[in-house]
Amino acid sequence: MNRISGQRRPSAAVLLALAIAASATACGSGSGGTGANAADSGTYTVWDPYPQFAKGSAWTQLLDKCGTEAGVKIKRTGFDTSDLANKTLLAAQQGNSPDLLVVDNPVVSTLAEAGVLTTTDENKLDTSKVDPNLLAAGQSGGRTYGTPIGANTLALYYNKAVLKAAGVDVASIKDWPSLTAALGKVKKAGKKGITFSAIGTEEGSFQFLPWFWGAGAKLTQLDSAQGESALTLWKDWVKQGYAPNSVLNNTQTTSWQEFASGDYAFAENGTWQLANAKKAGFEYGVLPIPGASGGSAAAPTGGEFVTLPVQDDTARYTTSQKLATCLTSTQNLYDTDTTLSYVAPTTEVQDKQTAADPELKPWVAAVRSAKGRTSDDLGTKYPKISEQMWKAVQSALSGSKSPKDALTDAQSAVK
C-alpha cells in the first residue's frame, strides 16, 4: 500500500489539479476539523463537502446512524469543496487523514496520484452495482479509489410557453440542426433563445463539454474538426443572437437567473436547479442535451465519491468500510440523493427515484449517458486541458480568435 510520510510533498501537477479541479457546483464555506489520529479508537472522522448541512440535518443523522450500526461514534466536519481537497493533502502529509472522505469526483484521481487514497481492492468496498460510466470518474491507472454517492449532470431546461408561442414542438429537437432551427423560431417570435455559462473558469468548460463530446471530440485533441464544430456552434448562436453576449461572464447561477426571467426558451443547467425550477412560476420541461447528429450527448458528471484515505493503523479500514457501505446502501442512497438533488449511481436506486418522481426521468437518462471529466485516465492532466478549453471558448465567443485558431492554440498550450 502506498504510504504517506511526513516528508512527502505533492507534485506541481497535483497542486495545479487541486487549484482548478473544484466542482462546478461547489458548496459554501465550512469549518476545520481533525483527522483519524486525533480520534480515539471508538470515534471515526468523516470529512465532506456539505457545510450547508448542520447537526441534526438528514445527512448528519445518516452519518450518526451508520456509526451506531458500526459500533462507533462519528466526528464529522463539512468543508468548502476546494478547501476540502487542500486540507486533505495537508492532513495526509501530517499522517492525520480522516477515516472517511467524501470528495468531488474530479479530485479523486488527483488524491490517488498523491498516494492519499486506498483502492477498493485494499479497502474491500463493493462497487459491482455502480454504473460503469459513473465509477470511471474515480478510477486511475486501472484502479478504483472509492464509490460514488450520487451524480448530477447537465441537461436543457425549456420554457413550455415560450416554445408554444414560437410554434416549436420539443419532440422535434433531436440534434444540433433541429435545436438551432428551434432557436431561430423563438427569436423570430420575439423571445430569447438559449442561455448557458461560458465563463473563463471550470464552469465554462463544464458547460461546453456536452457539446464538445456530443460532436465526437476527445479531450486529448482539442483542435480536432469535431471540437471546432462544437465551438463554432456556440459562436454562431451568439453571433446570430440566439444566445446572449452575457454567456461570456455567466456563471451557472447567473445563467439560471436569466432563464428564470421567463424570456428564454432554453437553459443549459443541472439537477441542482430543480428546486428553483419548481419556483420559477412557469411550466418547464427537461431535455437531454442532443448530440450533433442525434442521441444524447455525454455530459460531465458532478457529484462526490466516498473514499477511504490511507491510515497508518490499517486495522481501521474494516470499520471505515462498514461506514462507507452503510452510506451507499440502496435505501440510504435513495434518501441521501433525494436530499442532495442527485441521481443515484446504481440502476436499482435510479428506478426507485423515477417511480417516486417521474420528472427525474430525463435526468436519469442524462446521467446514464454522462462521463467523468477525468475519465479516459486523464487524471491530473484534466485541469490543464480544461483551462485551455475555457480560454479557447472565451477567445472564440469574444471574437478575438476563430474557433479553429483558438483550439489550435489551446492544443499547443496543453502540449
| Confidence category of residue 9, pLDDT binned at 50, 70, 90 | very low
Local confidence band at 14 (pLDDT 50, 70, 90 cut-offs): low
Q: Does the pLDDT value for residue 32 go beyond 50? A: no
Tell me how many degrees the CA angle 107-108-109 measures, rounded to the nearest 5: 95
Under 8 Å between Cβ of 165 and 148: no
Is 286 found in the same domain as 313?
Answer: no
The domain containing residue 24 runs over which residues?
12-151+302-368
Same domain, 138 and 99: yes
pLDDT recorded at residue 30: 36
Cell numbers standing for residue 76: 464529522
pLDDT class for 65, splitting at 50, 70, 90? very high
pLDDT interval class at 38 (50, 70, 90): low
Is 317:100 a contact under the CB 8 Å cutoff? Answer: no
Asked whether residue 4 is assigned to any structural domain, the reply reads no
Average pLDDT over the chain, rounded to an integer: 90
pLDDT at 207 over 70: yes
Between the two ends of the chain, the Cα-to-Cα distance in Å is: 32
Could you list the beta-strand ranges (E) of 100-237: 100-104, 139-140, 143-144, 147-148, 154-159, 192-195
In the chain, % of residues over pLDDT 70: 90
For 235-258, how does the pLDDT look when each residue is reduced to its tens digit (9 = 90+)? 999 999 999 999 999 999 999 999
Strand partners, 77: 47
For 116-146, the pLDDT digits (tens) are 999 999 999 999 999 999 999 999 889 999 9
The phi and psi torsions of 213 (rounded to 5 degrees) equal -70, -35
Report if residue 107 sits inside a domain: yes
Same domain membership, residue 50 and residue 24: yes
pLDDT for residue 27 is more than 90 = no
CA–CA distance from 239 to each of 8, 28, 189 (Å)? 51, 35, 18
User: Where is pLDDT greater, at 38 or 180?
Assistant: 180
User: Do residue 252 and residue 392 come from a single domain?
Assistant: yes
Mean pLDDT of 1-11: 37
pLDDT in tens, 326-385: 999 999 999 988 878 899 999 999 999 999 999 899 999 999 999 999 887 788 889 899
Query: How many structural domains compose the chain?
Result: 2
- pLDDT of 29 over the 60 cut: no
Q: Is residue 1 part of a domain?
A: no
Identify the pLDDT of residue 375.
85
Closest among 384, 362, 179 to 265, alpha carbons compared: 179
Examine the fold and report which residue of 346, 368, 390 is the final residue of a domain before the chain moves on. 368
The pLDDT value recorded for residue 18 is 53
264 vs 192: CA distance, rounded Å: 5
Please check whether residue 187 lies inside any domain of the structure.
Answer: yes
The label of the residue with cell 410554434 reads 167
Q: Check residue 132 and give its pLDDT.
A: 95
Residue 193's SS3 state is strand
Q: Is residue 355 part of a domain?
A: yes
Name which of 9, 24, 397, 19 is nearest 204 in CA terms: 24
Rg (CA), the chain: 21
Q: How far apart are CA 1 and CA 339, in angstroms?
A: 35
- Tens of pLDDT, residue by residue over 190-206, are 999 999 999 999 999 99
118 contacts 308 by C-beta, under 8 angstroms:
yes
| pTM, rounded to two decimals | 0.83
Is 283 found in the same domain as 165? yes
Whether residue 182 has pLDDT greater than 70: yes
Helices 225-239 + 403-414 axis angle, to 10: 130
Residue 5 lies in a domain: no
Say yes or no: 252 and 164 in one domain. yes
Contacts of 62 (CB under 8 A, 6+ apart): 327, 332, 335, 336
Half-sphere exposure of 306 (CA within 13 A, CB side): 28
Strand partners, 290: 296
- 277/318 same-domain check: no
Cα 377 to Cα 388: distance, rounded to the nearest angstrom? 18
> Cα–chain-centroid distance for residue 240?
30
Asked whether residue 6 is domain-assigned, the answer is no
What DSSP string describes 244-305?
-GGGGT--HHHHHHHHHTT-EEEEEEEGGGHHHHHTSSS-EEEEPPBPTTSSBPPPBPB-EE
Tell me, yes or no, whether 312 and 384 share the same domain.
Answer: no
Rounded CA-CA distance 222/408 in Å is 7
Indicate if the pLDDT at residue 13 is higher than 90.
no
Are the C-beta atoms of residues 26 and 81 closer than 8 Å to each other? yes
The CATH number for 147's domain is: 3.40.190.10
Q: Do the Cβ atoms of 145 and 108 come closer than 8 Å?
A: yes
Q: Give CA–CA dist 360/189, Å, rounded.
A: 30
For residues 27-54, average pLDDT? 70
pLDDT confidence of residue 2: 35
Residues 277, 307 within the same domain? no
Q: What's residue 40's pLDDT?
A: 59
Let me know whether 191 and 208 are in one domain.
yes
Looking at the fold, whether 336 and 350 belong to one and the same domain comes out as yes
Per-residue pLDDT of 256-300, as tens digits, reads 999 999 999 999 999 989 889 999 999 999 999 999 999 999 999
In sequence order, what are the beta bridge partners of 307?
101
- Compute the average pLDDT of residues 48-73: 94
By C-alpha distance, which of 74, 63, 98, 94 is closest to 84? 98
Short-list 106, 116, 147, 122, CA closest to 35 = 116
354 and 308 within one domain: yes
Asked whether residue 17 carries a pLDDT value surpassing 90, the answer given is no
* Inside any domain, residue 7: no
Q: Give the three-state DSSP class for 310.
A: coil
